[in-house]
Amino acid sequence: MMPKRSPWQSPEAGALAATRALNSDLSVDVCVVGAGMAGLLCALELRERGRSVLVLERDSVAAGETGATTAHLSTLLDTRYFELCDMHGADKARAIATSHMRGIAHLERVANAHGIDCAFQRVSGFLCADDERQAADLRREAAAATQAGISCELVRRAPLAIADGSALHVPHQAQFEPLAFLRGVVRALQASGVPIYAPVSVCDFEIRSEREPIALSTSDGRRVVANFVVVATNSPINDVTVLHTKLAAYRSYGLSVAIPETIPALCWDLATPYHYARTAFDALTHEPLLIVGGEDHRVGQELESEQHWQQLEDWVRDRFPSAGRVVSHWSGQVLETSDGLAFIGRNPGQEQVLVLTGFSGNGMSYSGLGAELIADLIVGDDNPARELYEPARKPHSLGAVGRYVRENLNTLEQYSDWLGPADVERIEDIRRGEGAVLRRGLDRVAVYVDQEGGAHELSATCPHLGGVVAWNDAEKSWDCPCHGSRFDCYGKVIAGPAVSDLNQLAGGSKKAAEAR
């Protein structure tokens, strides 16, 4: 079986684990929750502006979505500029483009300032059309992106042949190796005295009144008191409902295949679901790779998610006959917003809690621009992107409202799983190494059967807001279709917004044979 890892993950990535145990209560000016790209860049930026900072991480450095990114750094976003212009107006579309230019420049500046060897390289990006209908969208995008201040031109073909038609060429984009970059950021944080505590699970945010420090409680009974808290956990764990009605969680799949040589270019297509491709060297084998991704779908809403890797491989072999063996495969999680823009700034109604979320597939440039924006908000400096990414904003254009309603209707529909049929009727119907949800009276039970035939029974009720979790056969995890919380096969929470595990049922682990 091909290995489950992204091209950036290798034993050397273990050097990222430069963390400490949290053995005492602490107080600090700024506490960052989440040690991925966004959190660590915020920590570094704030430290460089003279603030005392510490970082808390539930798992280990870059254990979340940073390791899964394909690290396309582009000012051409996953939401087209003609849509952004319709939703936000021409002036804001220009400000959006400028903010992402700044975000990419921030990453480049950090890499240069700290001498980080992460293969940061300015390359061309190509948005690729497959047919005349897509070519028409490409022409609209060329006009809208140009109006937004992005230098671009239509060309006959992209250098990576991911589609049959013309392409929109955008020079001066960038690519890098995200975990190599983050290793350098961790070194810079250590050198400047910023500790990273892990594993530490934050389970409560106590906010007594505005202007008073915030007390964070951890699951093992420690307290961290901070003047400001930055929540950089991909899905915000401080907020139960407000932001989550404005976010939709998607799984996205990645695959790398051996190729003869790398080609410095980033490519995307206009298909639904869409695909993207770049090249790089594998961190483990050091061979040249074609890295492709896509096949996105709402979390917890596909019964056979493993098939998406096969579909990606078929897609590659159709287009790249010289592609060699599959080197690795992996998946990650993307949070989409209804108006195509992230939420970066003060948590609605809370002056001292700041969030970064809803990166909508552009997490690297958002991490760079987010670090500057969060630091500006905390130190009281102005930032031209402040209003754009305001977390309290509401969707107001017809397109954004329509998408907001569709995604929330989808979420509400997921609660009907309480009334629908179970996946299987008996534990003996579950294959070894797989899971399924059973009905037991009015309750739903999530059962994982391990390779030895042991049946592990959990409540199927998501501790966030009561959705029914679904088995993810690709990752061997329990995923909630409502807001994207994820739990490992034994019920341990691995992705928020849930902050606690699935409930173990009494006598929940037994041999499947005994359970029959």
3-state secondary structure of 300: coil
| Closest to ligand FES by CB, 62 or 335 | 335
Q: How many CB atoms are closer than 10 A to CB 362?
A: 24
| Closest to ligand FES by CB, 235 or 347 | 235
3-state secondary structure of 507: strand
| Closest to ligand FES by CB, 173 or 338 | 338
Helix, strand, coil share of the chain (percent; to 5): 30, 30, 40
| Closest to ligand FES by CB, 430 or 502 | 502
Residue 412 CA: distances (Å) to CA of 114, 254, 405? 47, 29, 10
- Closest contact distance (angstroms) between CB of 463 and ligand FES is 8
447 vs 438: CA distance, rounded Å: 7
- Closest contact distance (angstroms) between CB of 105 and ligand FES is 35
Task: Write the single-letter amino acid at 111.
Answer: A
The contact set with ligand FES (CB under 6 A) reads 462, 464-467, 480, 482-485, 497-498
- Closest contact distance (angstroms) between CB of 423 and ligand FES is 17
- Closest contact distance (angstroms) between CB of 241 and ligand FES is 9
**DSSP calls for 136-179:** HHHHHHHHHHHHTT---EEES--SS-SSSS-EEEEEEEEE--HH
- Closest contact distance (angstroms) between CB of 204 and ligand FES is 18
- Closest contact distance (angstroms) between CB of 483 and ligand FES is 3
| Closest to ligand FES by CB, 178 or 496 | 496
Q: Which residues of 320-347 are buried (b: 16+ CB within 10 A; e: fewer)?
A: beebeebbbbbbbbbbbbbbbbbbbbbb
Is the CB of residue 495 less than 8 Å from the CB of residue 333? yes
- Closest contact distance (angstroms) between CB of 484 and ligand FES is 6
Q: Is the dihedral of CA 296, 299, 302, 305 positive or negative?
A: positive
| Closest to ligand FES by CB, 127 or 462 | 462
Counting Cα atoms < 13 Å in the Cβ hemisphere of 212 gives 7
Is the CB of residue 16 less than 8 Å from the CB of residue 186? yes
| Closest to ligand FES by CB, 353 or 482 | 482
